[in-house]
Amino acid sequence: MRKSTRTLLAAALVLGVASGPALAPAFAAAPPAAAASPASAPSSPDLSAAIAGLPRADATAALVRVGGTEGSWQGSSGVHDLETNAPADPAARFRAGSVTKVFTAATVLQLAAEGRIDLDRTARSYLPDLIPGRYATVTVRQLLNHTHGIPAAAMPGETVEEWYANRFVVHRPEEMVRSATAQPREFRPGTRQHYLNIGYTVAGLIVERVTGDTYEHQVERRILRPLGLRDTYFPGEAAEITGPYNHGYQTMRLDDGTTGLRDVSVWGTTDGWAAGDIVSTTADLERFTRALFAGRVVRGPLLEEMFTLPKVTDLKSGDPAAYSAGLSMKRLGGREVWGKTGGRWGYNAAVASTRDGSRTLVYSVNATDAKGQDMNRTALTLMVAAYGLPG
pLDDT of residue 44: 61
pLDDT of residue 12: 35
Domain that holds residue 351: 3-387
CATH of the domain at 363: 3.40.710.10
Predicted confidence pLDDT, tens digits, the chain (391 residues)? 444 444 434 333 322 332 222 223 233 333 444 444 433 444 466 899 999 999 999 999 999 999 999 999 999 999 999 999 999 999 999 999 999 999 999 999 999 999 999 999 999 999 999 999 999 999 999 999 999 999 999 998 899 999 999 999 999 999 999 999 999 999 999 999 999 999 999 999 999 999 999 999 999 999 999 999 999 999 999 999 999 999 999 999 999 999 999 999 999 999 999 999 999 999 999 999 999 999 999 999 999 999 999 999 999 999 999 999 999 999 999 999 999 999 999 999 999 999 999 999 999 999 999 987 789 999 999 999 999 998 7
pTM for this predicted structure: 0.90
pLDDT of residue 45: 66
pLDDT of residue 46: 87
Q: What is the 3-state secondary structure (H, E, C) of the chain?
A: CCHHHHHHHHHHHHHCCCCCCCCCCCCCCCCCCEECCCCCCCCHHHHHHHCCCCCECCEEEEEEEEECCCCCEEEEEEECCCCCCCECCCCCEEEEECCHHHHHHHHHHHHHHCCCCCCCCEHHHHCCCCCCHHHCCCEHHHHHCCCCCCCCCCCCCCCHHHHHHCCCCCCCHHHHHHHHHCCCCCCCCCCEECCCCHHHHHHHHHHHHHHCCCHHHHHHHHHHHHHCCCCCECCCCCCCCCCCECCCEEEEECCCCCEEEEECCCCCCCCCHHHCCEEECHHHHHHHHHHHHCCCCCCHHHHHHHHCCCCCEECCCCCECCECCCCEEEEECCEEEEEEEEEECCEEEEEEEECCCCCEEEEEEEECCCCCCCCCHHHHHHHHHHHCCEC
pLDDT of residue 330: 95
pLDDT of residue 39: 37
Number of structural domains the chain divides into: 1
